[in-house]
Amino acid sequence: MKASLLALLGGASAALAQVRGFNYASQGQDYNGFASQFKTAAALAGADDFTSARLYTMIQDGTTDTVIDAIQAAIDTKTTLLLGLWASSPQDTFNNELTALKSAIQQYGSAFADLVVGISVGSEDLYRISPIGIAQGSGVGQTPDVLVDYIGQVRDIIKGTALASKPVGHVDTWNVFTNSSNAEVISNCDFLGLDEYPYYQTADDNPIGNAGDLFFEAYDKVANVAGGRPIWVTESGWPTSGPVSGEAVASVDNAETYWQDVACELEHRGIDFWWYILADAGATPSFGVSNNGVPLYNLACNATSGHTSNSTSSTSTTSSAAANSSSTATASGSQTSSTLNGTATSAIGGSGSSGTATAAGSAITSTVVATASAGSTASASGTGFSFATGGSSGGSSAGESGTATSTGANAVYTGAASKVEGSIAGLVIVAGVAAFAL
């Protein structure tokens, strides 16, 4: 039974697969450097499937408009790419970025396009012209009107090419996304790339114990102005060494705590993210998670790790029942940028008990699980994908029975004979079978 369900869900996994990776600077890098780093990231102990690279520019270091060597390295190592075009520059310089983008499309075709998850026009350009950025001496930025124009130029470049369907967006900090003067940039984006570092939030209560809360508070504030657009976390991290920043202390232990509270929670929620950074030996502060390919701290997500948000953006309820009892659990929520999108329900009943779980949701990727032994009943409905199972398999005793119903635009029903019908268009799951685990 479990094998058949996993086979069913396998078709959706590729489309819904989470993207995880690191940021990669261009300065001083060539093909060998990029390829070596991509291989190191993919094999990093504890970091599961960190096989994506976020780039800041399309131009190879030391050239005017030659395609960055990271493209060929990504093709050879099967590394997915969040492309970047440096936008804090006048039009004649930005033209070089456009030239390199066109050259990459012509030179590499579908081998390149198939790896691209998105295209970011600019990186923290609005932050650098904000009062905070100016006070920090952050350098040259860009105005909202020019960014909107540059985004339009990129859309024109990729129109009719292998990159035509790729989302185009912008990367910046939470406080400029929530500034209404930048709303036009948001309205011209397919996604928002969020750079968020509680370590630097010295105006807030920012010790490591509060860092997770600060991060997800910022994420939720951006979600409130995103208009339903996906929010990708394009930079975050905590330094292993460096100066004290407000109440934030740089240390290996604190970097590991932040990884567990933020990176593992992003992984748990299914939010795409690119961590800062794989390695940066000698930098101050130093955010690198590895040295010579060896993790500086535990990168495996603990079973109890991750941040528990108080936000109403997602709700999950679980109810467990002992033998000879009944259980019912319901929950609802609406989280637009997570695999937990809509409704999450779980009901568990022991042998000889009755378990009932019901769920309804209109979101595309919701997850509902009900597990019961004897006399199980499970039902699900949704405008996305609804799935229900029931029967005497998956560890139930002989003679036990179960029922399952499923309704919705794309409904799947599994009865006692483990028959599966329907198609996957989203992800709402209800399981009425004992010992089944996703």
Q: For 144-161, how does the pLDDT look when each residue is reduced to its tens digit (9 = 90+)?
A: 999 999 999 999 999 999
Whether residue 267 lies in the annotated active site: no
Residue with structure tokens 């009755």? Answer: 354
Domain boundaries, the chain: 17-295, 317-432
- pLDDT tens digits for range 393-405: 333 223 323 344 4
Hey, what are 40's tokens? 């190191």
- Of 241, 216, 420, 245, the closest CA to residue 335 belongs to 216
Residue 1 has pLDDT above 50, yes or no: no
Residue 303 is predicted with a pLDDT of 66
Instruction: Tell me the CATH number for domain 17-295.
Output: 3.20.20.80
Look at residue 348 and tell me whether its pLDDT is greater than 80: no
- Give which of 332, 326, 336 is closest to 228, Cα–Cα: 336
- Cite the DSSP H helix spans in 170-207: 174-177, 183-187
Q: How many CB atoms lie within 10 A of CB 404?
A: 24
To the question of pTM greater than 0.75 for the whole model, the response is no
Instruction: Please tell me the predicted confidence (pLDDT) of residue 302.
Output: 86
Using a 10 angstrom Cβ sphere, with 0-12 exposed, 13-18 middle and 19 or more buried, the burial of residue 3 is exposed
Q: Active site residue: 97, 196, 235, 400, which one? A: 235
The one-character DSSP state at 60 is: -
| pLDDT attached to residue 98 | 98
CB 411 within 8 A of CB 422: yes
Identify the sign of the CA torsion 245, 246, 252, 254: negative
In the prediction, which pLDDT does 387 show? 34
Count, residues in the chain? 438
Instruction: Note the pLDDT tens digit of each residue in 278-315.
Output: 999 899 999 999 999 999 999 999 865 555 544 433 33
Region of poorest pLDDT, from 103-107, 254-258, 334-338, 433-437: 433-437
pLDDT of residue 17: 79
Give residue-wise pLDDT tens across range 72-91.
999 999 999 999 999 999 99
Q: Please give the Cα distance from 208 to 230 (Å, whole number).
A: 27
Residue 395 in tokens: 């560890």
Q: Which of 235-239, 308-312, 386-390 has the highest mean pLDDT?
A: 235-239
To the query of whether residue 235 is one of the catalytic residues in this protein, the response is yes
Return all residues near 78 (Cβ < 8 A) that are at least 6 apart: 51, 115
Average pLDDT, the chain: 76
Burial classification of residue 345, based on how many CB atoms lie within 10 Å of its CB (0-12 exposed, 13-18 middle, 19 or more buried): buried
Write down the pLDDT at residue 117: 98
Which of 124, 256, 265, 267 does the annotation list as catalytic? 124
Whether the per-residue pLDDT at 261 is higher than 80: the answer is yes
Is residue 396 classed as helix, strand or coil in its secondary structure?
A: coil
